Amino acid sequence: MFGTVKRIIDWCGSFKKNLYIGFIFSFFSGWFAAMPVIWAAYIIGKLVECEGQGKAVSTVWIGKSIVILLFFIFLRFLFDYLRARFQESISYELIARDRLAVGDALKRVSLGYFQNMNTGTILNSITTGLHTLEGMGIRMIDNFVGGYLNFICILLWLTCMNWRVGLIAVTGAAVSLIFLLIISKYSTRNAPVLAAANRDLTGATLEYARGLSVVKSFGKAGASMDSMKKACRDSRDINLKIEWGYIPYNALHLLALKTASVCIVIAAFYLGFSGQLDFTYMMIIILLSFHVFGSLEPIADCAHVLAVIDDALDHLDELTKESFIDADGQQIEIAHYDIEFRNVDFSYGEGRERRQVLHNVNLKIPEYSVAAIVGPSGSGKSTICNLIARFYDADSGSVRVGGHDVKEFTCDSLLSNISMVFQNVYLFHDTVRNNICFGKTDATEAEMVEAAKKARCHDFIMALPEGYDTVIGEGGGSLSGGEKQRISIARAILKDAPIIILDEATASVDPENEHLIQAAISELTKGKTIVTIAHRLATIEQADQILVVDNGQIIQRGTHTELVAVPGKYKDFVDIRSQSEGWKIG
Ligand SMILES: Nc1ncnc2c1ncn2[C@@H]1O[C@H](COP(=O)(O)OP(=O)(O)OP(=O)(O)O)[C@@H](O)[C@H]1O
C-alpha cells in the first residue's frame, strides 16, 4: 500500500511540487477542520461555567466568538480550495502526457507487437487503465495522505488535552491500519485478475462490434457473442467475488475506528466526572471524538483501489517502455530515393507461430522509377512493401532507402519520405479537411483544395452537406469505397513524399470510379519513386521494372517486353489477366 503511494507520487514527475503544496494545504485544512469543533466546545464550556457561577455572559463576547468560529470555518474551506487548486488538475495533465506518450510509443513499435498483444489489452490499458489513473490516482493519494494528515492534526489536539485519550486514538488507528493492510494485500492479489477480466471484456466487445456485419448477414451471433457473454459473466463474477471478500475487512476497519471513538467518549466522561479533566476539555474531546477518524474511514476505499491503480501503472509502463523499433534511429535527410533489398529474410510471428514468408529477397528500385510487384495471393507482395516502411524488421539482410538501412532512421524521418495508399483505406472519424491534411497538418486551404482536385475528389466533397468540414463516419463509413480511396490519394498528394507505395485497388470498383482513381494516381505518382502492387495490365506494362514474387522469392524480374518473351509465371499471369480484362458482356 505504501509502495503504491510512493509510486503514484513518483508518477507525478514534474507535478510533484504541486502535490506537496497540496499536502501542506491539506494539513492546514485538517487543522482548521478541528478548530471550529474545539472553539464551539470552548464556547459551550464557558457558557456552562458562567451559568454554574451565576455570571451573565456578555453578548459582545458571544458575537466575537461566533465571528471567530465562522473565521475558522472560512479558513478550512479556503485551505481546501487551495489544495484543490494545486492538486485537482495534476491527474488530467499527467494523463494527457501519458496518452500522448502511449500514442507515440505505439507508433514506434513493430506491427508484430499488435499481433502478440491482444488489441483488447492495449485498448483497455489506454481507456479503462488510464481513466482509472485519471479519476482516482491523485484523489486516492490525497485521501490517503490527506486523511492521515487530518488525523494527525486532531490527534495532536487530543494528546495536548489528555495523553490517555491520544493513546486511545492512536490504538484505534493502528488496529484499523491492520485491516487496511489486509484489504490492500487482498486487493493486490485480485487487481491483476480484475484487470485481466476487463481486458477480456474489452477484447470480446471489440471483436463482437467488428464482426457485427458478418453476424447480421448470417443472422446469428455465433462464437463472438458467446465469448462476449462469457466475458460479461466472468467480469461480473470476479467483481462480486472481490466485493464480497472486501466487505468484512472494511467492516472491521470501520468497527475499530467507531469502537475507538466510543472509548474516547467514555474516557472523556470518566476523566471529566472524576475531576481529572476540565469540563471544557471534556466537551472538546467528546466533540472531537466524532471527528477524529472521519478522514480515516474512506481510506478503506483507497486501500482497495490503490492496487488497481498499481496495476494500471504497470500496464502504462509496459506500453510506454515497449522496445521502440527505432530506439537507435537518427533523423536522416536523404538526397536520393532509391530502394534496395539485400538478402532479406523475414518471418511473421514468434516461437511456434513463427513462419518465414520472405526468402533471400534481393531487389533494386532506382529513384524516380516505377516497380510493379506481381504474384499470386499470399506470395509476399504486401510484406515487401511493409518492410520498406519498416512496419516490421527483417530477420536478416538489409532494407535500404536512399542508401541508408531503414534501421538507421527514426520512424518519423523514414516515413516522411514515404506515402502509402492501401487497398483498405482507413479514414478517421474527423472532417474531410483533417483527413486530407493528416500528412501535412500545416497545409493551406489552397494546397488542400488543389490536392483534392488532383485526386478527383473536390466535386463530390463540395456536394457533401458541410463540404470540407463534413465529418466522416468512423473508418470512412459514410463514403463509398471509391470516394474513400480518392480522399486517401488526396492525403498522399498533399504529403508529397518522394516515395509512393501503392496497393492498386481497382479490382472492386466500377469503371467510372476506376477511371477517376487512375487519374488521381497519375497525379500522385508524377516524378516519384513508385512501388506498386499491381493488378491491372496497363499499370504493369508501363512499369520500368516488374518483380514477380512467388512463395516469398523473386522468381523473375525485367520489363514487360522482356518477361512476356519467355515462358514462366509472368507470361501465364499476363495470359490470364488479358483474358479477364478482355472479358465483355454480350
Ligand atoms: N500479419 C501477419 N501475420 C502472419 N502472417 C501473415 C501476416 N500478414 C501476412 N501473412 C502471411 O504472409 C504471407 C505473405 O502475405 P502477403 O500479405 O505479403 O501476401 P500478398 O502477396 O500481398 O497477398 P495478397 O495479394 O493476397 O494481398 C501469406 O502467407 C500471409 O498469410
Which pLDDT score is estimated for 92?
Answer: 83
Cα angle, residue 417 at apex, residues 369 and 539 outer, rounded to 5°: 35
Cα 527 to Cα 522: distance, rounded to the nearest angstrom: 10
Of 455, 388, 453, residue with least CA distance to 425: 455
Which pLDDT score is estimated for 345?
Answer: 95
> Which residue, judged by its Cα, is nearest atom 26 of ligand 1?
377
- Residues having CB closer than 6 A to ligand 1 are 115, 348-349, 357, 375, 377-383
Which pLDDT score is estimated for 584?
Answer: 43
Q: Specify whether domain 330-412+536-580 bears CATH 3.40.50.300.
A: yes
Non-local (6+) Cβ contacts of 37 within 8 A are 284, 287, 288, 291
Residue 369 is placed in which grid cell? 522509377
Which pLDDT score is estimated for 476?
Answer: 61
Output the CA 303–ligand 1 centroid distance in Å.
49
Distance of CA 191 to the CA centre of its chain: 19
Strands (E), 315-437: 339-348, 355-365, 370-374, 396-401, 404-405, 418-421
Output the CA 345–ligand 1 centroid distance in Å.
14
Which pLDDT score is estimated for 95?
Answer: 81
Give me the torsion for CA of 389, 324, 110, 191, rounded to 10°.
Answer: -150
> Which residue, judged by its Cα, is nearest atom 4 of ligand 1?
348
Which pLDDT score is estimated for 358?
Answer: 94
Helix axes 163-210, 222-273, angle to 10 degrees: 170
Output the CA 481–ligand 1 centroid distance in Å.
22
pLDDT digits (tens, 9 = 90+) for 36-74: 888 888 888 788 878 888 887 788 888 888 899 899 899
Rg of the chain (C-alpha set): 35
Strands lying side by side in the sheet with 396-401:
355-365, 339-348, 396-401, 404-405
Query: By the 8 A CB rule, do 313 and 11 touch?
Result: yes
Which part of the chain has CATH 1.20.1560.10?
2-320
Helix axes 279-289, 222-273, angle to 10 degrees: 170
For 324, 398, 467, the CA distances from 344, given in Å and listed in that order, are: 21, 6, 46
Output the CA 274–ligand 1 centroid distance in Å.
89
For ligand 1, pick from 346, 381, 392, 423 the residue to mutate: most ligand atoms within 8 Å of CB.
Answer: 381
CATH for the stretch 2-320: 1.20.1560.10
Cα 420 to Cα 489: distance, rounded to the nearest angstrom: 9
Q: Which residues of the chain have pLDDT under 70?
A: 110-120, 213-224, 322-323, 474-478, 505-511, 580-586
Which part of the chain has CATH 3.40.50.300?
330-412+536-580
